[in-house]
């Protein structure tokens, strides 16, 4: 039986719709009264796991799921040992450096050396500032990162931006975009090579569906 790791949160609805289009129905996860974290498709050919987005590549890497859907941002930050098979073209966002509107900084290079930058994307933020040869102190935060500059704990943040509304409502502005992110289809490398549970066929169906949706 094919096991698929599906991400809680903003990617879930589109992920379920994509699998419905290729014959697997995990829509029970969208029922707010449902507390199951594992369900089987009615066909009996597939099982869905509902997990935190950051945990999707972990379940895939360790073989508890053969396929998964996760944002490129998670893959960039975690660098898991999974096969990236397709850009699914939904869940678009960007990882950006942002500061208070009232600050004097208008580019990342304006930030003072050894200033504090708050982020849940610690590795990506560190790599970015190292590429600028700008030493900063990365402060790990996993809640409302926007509070860093607001409270004065940090001069800047590195965080995901979608519409930009949250930044605007908290009087923050973007300085730089590190990269753009969308949802990606990933697979357990060995399972994919061995074509366990007809993974290749399922992947081809998903790729075709993405092409149809984009046309």
In the CATH scheme, what is the code of domain 93-180? 3.40.190.10
Tokens standing for residue 111 = 């930030």
Residue 197 CB burial class (10 angstroms; 0-12, 13-18, ≥19): middle
- Angstrom CA distances, 71 to 48, 116, 182, stand at 18, 26, 6
What is the C-alpha to C-alpha distance for residues 164 and 209, in angstroms, rounded to an integer? 29
Would you give per-residue pLDDT tens digits along the chain (215 residues)?
899 999 999 999 999 999 999 999 999 999 988 899 999 988 888 999 999 999 999 999 999 999 999 999 999 999 999 999 999 999 999 999 999 999 999 999 999 999 999 999 999 999 999 999 999 999 999 989 999 999 999 999 999 999 999 999 999 999 999 999 999 999 999 999 998 778 999 999 999 999 988 87
pLDDT in tens, 128-149: 999 999 999 999 999 899 999 9
Superfamily (CATH H level) for 2-91+182-214: Periplasmic binding protein-like II (3.40.190.10)
* Residue range(s) occupied by CATH 3.40.190.10 in the chain: 2-91+182-214, 93-180
- Angstrom CA distances, 209 to 21, 46, 87, 91, 215, stand at 7, 18, 12, 16, 10
CB atoms within 10 A of CB 177: 11
């Amino acid at each position: 039986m094919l096991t698929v790791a599906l991400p809680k949160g903003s990617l879930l609805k589109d992920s379920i719709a994509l699998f419905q289009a290729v014959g697997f129905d995990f829509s029970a996860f969208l029922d707010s009264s449902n507390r199951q974290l594992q369900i089987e498709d009615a066909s009996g050919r597939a099982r869905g796991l509902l997990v935190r987005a950051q945990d999707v590549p972990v379940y895939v890497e360790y073989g508890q799921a053969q396929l998964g859907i996760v944002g490129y941002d998670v893959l960039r930050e975690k660098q898991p040992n999974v096969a990236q098979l397709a850009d699914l073209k939904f869940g678009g966002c960007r990882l950006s450096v942002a500061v208070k509107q009232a600050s004097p900084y208008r580019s990342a290079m304006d930030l003072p050396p050894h200033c504090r930058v708050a982020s849940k994307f610690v590795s990506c933020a560190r790599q970015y500032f190292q590429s600028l040869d700008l030493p900063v102190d990365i402060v790990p935060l996993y809640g409302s990162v926007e509070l860093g500059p607001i409270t004065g704990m940090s001069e800047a943040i590195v965080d995901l931006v979608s519409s930009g509304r949250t930044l605007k409502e908290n009087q923050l502005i973007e300085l730089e975009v590190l990269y753009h992110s969308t949802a990606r289809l990933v697979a357990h490398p060995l399972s994919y090579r061995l074509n366990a549970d007809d993974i290749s066929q399922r992947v081809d169906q998903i790729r075709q569906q993405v092409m149809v949706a984009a046309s």
